[in-house]
């Protein structure tokens, strides 16, 4: 069935300027890290992406290794673009991808060399059937490669027309400051930074957000729900089938301690008092900081996507609520 986007798709979404650039991003962006790979249901992923666009989400975030298998999220996204987002709709989308983690065997399929970054983006473009991406990231710093080489590759990618903007992910405040200075000198400013940030993961507050603000760079946190911990799923411990129940998952069983579950329960009660789910409150807590451009969510269903988007109905916190949150998080 032919997809026709909702005509009111831009009415309810909030759009924020990305740093001091001319680009605006939706307050909520959709990441394809999980649930869009070759092992997942294609039509379910397609429905989520269509619903996201109908709700005003214009930014879709990928990486070369998203799947599983690595690369399959980009392939599936490329199929969806070809089926549903042809013609002028491409101009309404912000599509990002990254390179920096292991993608193929041998010395040229990992980290931060010019060879790897440019080769990887060429592969990503073929998988997504695109001429360019809007944002290309260095997915992580590489201590074995001069940062000048990595940033020079990002600059070349923009000069070649393969990306409109460049960004950084997982760089510390000091590494970011150094990378930003090099990019500025080259003439390709850093647009955005993608760090891991949630109520349970707050290293970005130790200087990184200040560096981004001082340099006019946007911020798009990933894992804002701490791999599902900041939802109602872990209120009674680790449920069967959850990420923490799988030994190879990104959330390990030892991370779900009794102390953390106690905090989750108290945050859950506070969220209910605000008229929100815990996930909605956790996303709103990220968005309360004006240095945050957009928050990156995942989704396994249309219903979950809709629930997370309802966050935007209340992103305000009073001082008492913020103090209660800090008190809960500091316990133990």
**Which pLDDT score, from 0 to 100, does residue 128 have?**
98
**Which pLDDT score, from 0 to 100, does residue 6 have?**
97
CB 164 within 8 Å of CB 195? no
Helix (H) or strand (E) holding 181: helix 173-186
DSSP type of residue 201: B
How would you list the strands of the sheet with 28-31, edge to edge?
218-219, 190-194, 163-169, 133-138, 94-99, 59-61, 28-31, 295-297
Q: Give the residue carrying structure tokens 């400013």.
A: 189
Tell me the domain boundaries of the chain.
15-227+287-316
**Which pLDDT score, from 0 to 100, does residue 301 have?**
97
Is the domain covering 15-227+287-316 a CATH 3.20.20.100 domain?
A: yes
* pLDDT tens across the length of the chain (332 residues): 789 999 999 999 999 999 999 999 999 999 999 999 999 999 999 999 999 999 999 999 999 999 999 999 999 999 999 999 998 999 999 999 999 999 999 999 999 999 999 999 999 999 999 999 999 999 999 999 999 999 999 999 999 999 999 999 999 999 999 999 999 999 999 999 999 999 999 999 999 999 999 999 999 999 999 989 999 988 876 665 555 545 556 665 667 788 899 999 999 999 999 999 999 999 999 999 999 999 999 999 999 999 999 999 999 999 999 999 999 999 86
Residue 238 CA: distances (Å) to CA of 248, 252, 271, 298: 15, 10, 20, 20
Contacts of 196 (CB under 8 A, 6+ apart): 170, 203, 204, 221, 222, 223
Q: List residues bridging with 254 in a β-sheet.
A: none
CB 223 within 8 Å of CB 283? no
**Which pLDDT score, from 0 to 100, does residue 238 have?**
65
């Amino acid at each position: 069935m032919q997809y026709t986007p909702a005509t009111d798709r831009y009415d309810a979404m909030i759009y924020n300027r990305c740093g001091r650039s001319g680009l605006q991003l939706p307050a909520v962006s959709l990441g394809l890290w999980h649930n869009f790979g070759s092992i997942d249901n294609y039509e379910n992923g397609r429905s989520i992406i269509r619903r996201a666009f109908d709700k005003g989400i214009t930014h879709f975030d990928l990486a070369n290794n998203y799947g599983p298998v690595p690369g399959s999220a980009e392939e599936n996204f490329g199929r969806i673009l070809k089926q549903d987002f042809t013609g002028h709709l491409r101009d309404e989308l912000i599509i990002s991808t990254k390179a920096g983690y292991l993608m193929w065997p041998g010395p040229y399929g990992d980290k931060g060399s010019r060879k790897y970054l440019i080769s990887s983006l060429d592969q990503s473009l073929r998988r997504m059937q695109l001429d360019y991406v809007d944002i290309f990231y260095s997915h992580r710093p590489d201590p074995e490669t001069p940062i000048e080489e990595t940033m020079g590759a990002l600059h070349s990618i923009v000069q070649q027309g393969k990306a409109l903007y460049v960004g950084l992910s997982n760089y510390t405040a000091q590494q970011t400051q150094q990378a930003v200075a090099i990019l500025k000198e080259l003439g390709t400013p850093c647009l955005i930074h993608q760090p891991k940030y949630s109520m349970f993961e707050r290293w970005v507050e130790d200087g990184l957000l200040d560096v981004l603000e001082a340099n006019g760079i946007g911020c798009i946190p990933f894992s804002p729900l701490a791999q599902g911990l900041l939802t109602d799923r872990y209120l009674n411990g680790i449920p069967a089938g959850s990420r923490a129940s799988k030994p190879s998952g990104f959330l390990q069983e030892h991370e779900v301690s009794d102390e953390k579950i106690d905090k989750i329960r108290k945050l859950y009660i506070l969220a209910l008092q605000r008229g929100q789910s815990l996930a909605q409150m956790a996303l709103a807590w990220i968005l309360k900081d004006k240095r945050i451009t957009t928050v990156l969510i995942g989704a396994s269903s249309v219903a979950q996507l809709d629930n997370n988007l309802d966050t935007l109905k209340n992103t305000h916190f009073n001082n008492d609520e913020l103090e209660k949150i800090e008190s809960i998080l500091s316990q133990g």
